[in-house]
Structure 1
């Protein structure tokens, strides 16, 4: 059967949108293909033309909201100003996708999504920290994990409060915590 690409894309989008609406209210293990197709107005056969199962649709949705950092150029020297710019960039990405990230990182979300998000930013931070630090790879890896966990945790907390916190203020707080400590 030869379908028009626009119709195919719209059908796929409708199925993903229906899944997302359900996923915002139910845990993945409680969602059925029937739930999705009923909400989207399609039959089960149509669903299986696009997805293997509910976990596949979740995986595809998550991949679509992960940022693509392949366009970023290599950084040769890390200055404090450049680090602030990267924190700002992360915060803007989070803000643009906070409706998705809030659910995916939340209590009923996908526990593996945080790791996927970290893996997107890990190479950039590894390059930044490797250029700036003389520590061995072990220390650098733990610094990267610490920074990524802090960034994701703070943004998730900030946007989870129901308001849009000022990005600049959050970035300054993270920066201050990293370089001055939390107790000061």
Structure 2
């Protein structure tokens, strides 16, 4: 007898949710299949119907959080000095903040930031390429710098309970990108 798809999807999600609750408390290497299945109310065999191991749960969860190009919020650059899709990243981060704040945090997955940058870079490249005539290799390094800074500051903002209003954060980042850090510090 075949299982109904909605039950199968719910079982898989329950296992992911149980994994996530544990992952928020401790590092992945300290999580066991037994803990996940006990928390979810299933047996080990059920776990292995959906995942090969604990790292597979993390991989599948992260894959669901990495937007494809057509899922990324659209952005436009109002002037050539902006150079960053802050509103796009803010929307993406807000939508997934429950996960991003942990995955990009101190006990999260170090590879997740790289996966996120890899997914965002093509749309950023497509939008910014028209505003410059840089060497493609230099341009790639600049994009890496921009994305690393944006992801880093967004993570820091969430870890610090959004102490700075979102509009002020965006204005600060734009000012730093336009005028540089030194100019900002010596104001």
Tell me the TM-score normalised to structure 2 length: 0.89
Q: 1:2 to 1:91 in 2, by over 3 A?
A: same
Distance 1:88 1:72 in 2: 11
Q: Name the counterpart of 1:53.
A: 53
Q: 1:72 to 1:151 in 2, by over 3 A?
A: closer
Q: Name the counterpart of 2:18.
A: 18
Distance 2:78 2:39 in 1: 50
- Name the SS of the counterpart of 2:142 in structure 1: helix
Q: Name the counterpart of 1:146.
A: 145
Distance 2:72 2:171 in 1: 22
Contact 1:118 1:148 in 2 (8 A): yes
Equivalent positions of 1:113-152 (< 5 A) are: 113-152=112-151
Distance 2:153 2:79 in 1: 20
User: Number of paired residues?
Assistant: 183
The more displaced of 4-13 and 157-166 is 157-166
Equivalent positions of 1:4-15 (< 5 A) are: 4-15=4-15
Contact 2:73 2:91 in 1 (8 A): no
Q: Name the counterpart of 1:28.
A: 28
Distance 2:74 2:88 in 1: 15
Distance 1:72 1:27 in 2: 29
Distance 1:60 1:94 in 2: 18
Q: Which runs of 5+ in 1 are unaligned?
A: none
Q: Which runs of 5+ in 2 are unaligned?
A: none
Residues 11-56 of structure 1: CA deviation (Å, up to 9, x unaligned): 0110000000000011111111111001101000000111110000
